[in-house]
A and B are shown apart, each in its own frame.
Chain A
Amino acid sequence: MTRSEVQVRLTGVFRDVFQSPELELWDAMAARDVPGWDSMNNVRLILSVEAEFACKFTLREIGKQQNVGELMDLIIKKTT
């Protein structure tokens, strides 16, 4: 799966979880950039990403993610 394909599908997941249809993703985007991206919604996001990309993250992987770019890299690593 290419990075741009991951970004398109991940954008859909973000829009759904944060109920923000206009939301656009960029690599350095972090929790502070998205209203409502708190620790509770982060777990919701992770569950939705796991369902969308049919993969499972470890606790260490969840804790290490700092921004959207790192999450995309992890999805690519997990799905290839």
Chain B
Amino acid sequence: MEICSITFLFPIILLGTLYPFLPSLIWRQLALGAVNVICISLLLPTWSSAAVFFFFILSGYGVGVTLRKHPNRSILVGYISLFVAAFVYLKHYSFLQLVFPAGMLHSSLVIVGLSYMLFRQIHFLIDQYQGSDDPLDLWGYLNYQINIFSLVSGPITRYPDFREDWDRLEPLWLSRYDLLMAYGRIWIGVIKVMVLGAIFYHYYSFAAPLWTPGAPTAAKFHAIRIVYLFYFFPIYIYFNFSGYCDIVIGCGYLYGLRIPENFKTPFLSRNMIEFWSRWHITLGVWIKDYLYTPMLRAVLTRFPKRGGNLAFLCYFIAFFIAGVWHGSTWNFVVYGLLQGLGVSVAKLWEMLLTRWLGREGHKRYLASRPVHWAAVGLNFHYFCFTCLIFGLSFSGLRQLGLTLGLHW
């Protein structure tokens, strides 16, 4: 089931438009619940996948209820550790092959949306452990986890925000203008995915096979193909992912769900720290709230004098993990390292500039337009470079290096 397909969009938009005419909250919750259940049943390929999927969700709910009544650090850490271990196993992370024999790693289970479920589950459990007064019941929680508008590829919704909408479920459109805006958002998303993203992907896929393992020899240098490879893949990802988000935000609007924004002109960021607050925003904010902040808090509590230096390490670890989460092969380890490096260097540069120029001088530096556009250009190229690692295999990268005259 494709989110851009007529078979998905037509019934979803039709029901969403008729939604306000349902007589009460119960009916609206039942309708949205039915949409979620039907969609998830189409997305789970086998009964065993469905069993594991619901085991993750229900066990998380059970642990959440327990933590709310009896906040116990061992239960929280134990459950999250097991969940992360299961995630790593089911995603077939390459580094497992270094530790376990191949026979142990075979698994045919396909769990849709597992990556995003991991984030939702961790934040939900930490909030329960630290004391949450949000309403909690199985039906609401189940719909939070299987909500079709954030299940497959995000955005990462937070339980309190979902819950606030779920307990009301009043369509957010009050006038014909609002309704047209929601349709427009969905339509813009479809254009981004089906037209703009498809065009950029077409040209990228025209160039990329020349630098894949199957290619007989290193391709000859063609500037235009290098351009396709270097620039068009990140632009394709942007149109594809932000278009998808436009569609689910627009659809959610029809049903009374405020799906969070996930993109804000990311290619205009002047460094990687800013980039992660404008690209996949809900991931960047999640990483800041649930990885970076607790890590730095622990470091500053133990080493109050050296905390500033260790903050780079926290940045690095947090965004390294964010990078590795994107995929299971070694490429993504390198991708994660480059993300960690990008944010750490940006932070270090900012601190050095403040030291050299003083606060007023740093302000003037930030206000300079030539410096701003140079930084934006540099950052965009750095991100494109990280996407090369994202899109090509190691042998493909090696062949690309040969094409460019780099021999290693």
A residues touching B (Cβ–Cβ < 8 Å)? 35-36, 38-40, 43-44, 46-47, 58-60, 62-63
What per-residue 1/0 map shows which CB atoms of B346-361 lie under 8 Å from chain A?
0100100010000100
A44 touches B288 (CB 8 A): no
Label chain B's interface by main secondary structure. Answer: helix
A59 touches B300 (CB 8 A): no
B292 touches A39 (CB 8 A): yes
A40 touches B347 (CB 8 A): yes
Label chain A's interface by main secondary structure. Answer: helix
B288 touches A47 (CB 8 A): no
Report the Cα distance A39→B296, complex, angstroms. Answer: 10
Chain A residues lying within 8 Å of B341, measured Cβ to Cβ, are none
Q: Is B311's CB within 8 Å of the partner chain A?
A: yes
Report the Cα distance A46→B308, complex, angstroms. Answer: 15
Q: Is B178's CB within 8 Å of the partner chain A?
A: no
Knowing A59-B290, A63-B289, say if A40 contacts B130 (CB, 8 Å).
Answer: no
Could you say which of B292, B294, B300 has the most chain A C-beta atoms within 10 Å of its C-beta?
Answer: B300
Report the Cα distance A47→B150, complex, angstroms. Answer: 34
Chain A residues lying within 8 Å of B347, measured Cβ to Cβ, are 38, 40
B residues touching A (Cβ–Cβ < 8 Å)? 123, 126-127, 130-132, 160, 273, 285, 288-290, 292-294, 296-297, 300-301, 307-308, 311, 347, 350, 354, 359, 362-363
B285 touches A63 (CB 8 A): yes
Which of chain B's residues has its CB closest to A43's CB? B296
Report the Cα distance A35→B127, complex, angstroms. Answer: 31
Which of chain B's residues has its CB closest to A35's CB? B359
Could you say which of B130, B273, B350 has the most chain A C-beta atoms within 10 Å of its C-beta?
Answer: B130
Report the Cα distance A4→B311, complex, angstroms. Answer: 33
Which of chain A's residues has its CB closest to B301's CB? A47
B160 touches A43 (CB 8 A): no
Chain A residues lying within 8 Å of B297, measured Cβ to Cβ, are 43, 46-47
Which of chain A's residues has its CB closest to B286's CB? A63
Instruction: Pick 26 A–B contacts, CB within 8 A, sort by A.
Output: A35-B359, A35-B362, A36-B354, A36-B359, A39-B293, A40-B296, A40-B308, A40-B347, A43-B293, A43-B296, A43-B297, A43-B300, A44-B300, A44-B307, A46-B297, A47-B300, A47-B301, A58-B127, A58-B130, A59-B130, A59-B293, A60-B123, A60-B130, A60-B132, A60-B160, A60-B289
A59 touches B294 (CB 8 A): yes
What is the distance, in angstroms, from A73's C-beta to the closest C-beta of chain B? 16
A63 touches B300 (CB 8 A): no
Which of chain B's residues has its CB closest to A56's CB? B130
Chain A residues lying within 8 Å of B288, measured Cβ to Cβ, are 39, 63
What is the distance, in angstroms, from A33's C-beta to the closest C-beta of chain B? 12
B307 touches A59 (CB 8 A): no
Report the Cα distance A33→B136, complex, angstroms. Answer: 38
What is the distance, in angstroms, from B342's C-beta to the closest C-beta of chain A? 15
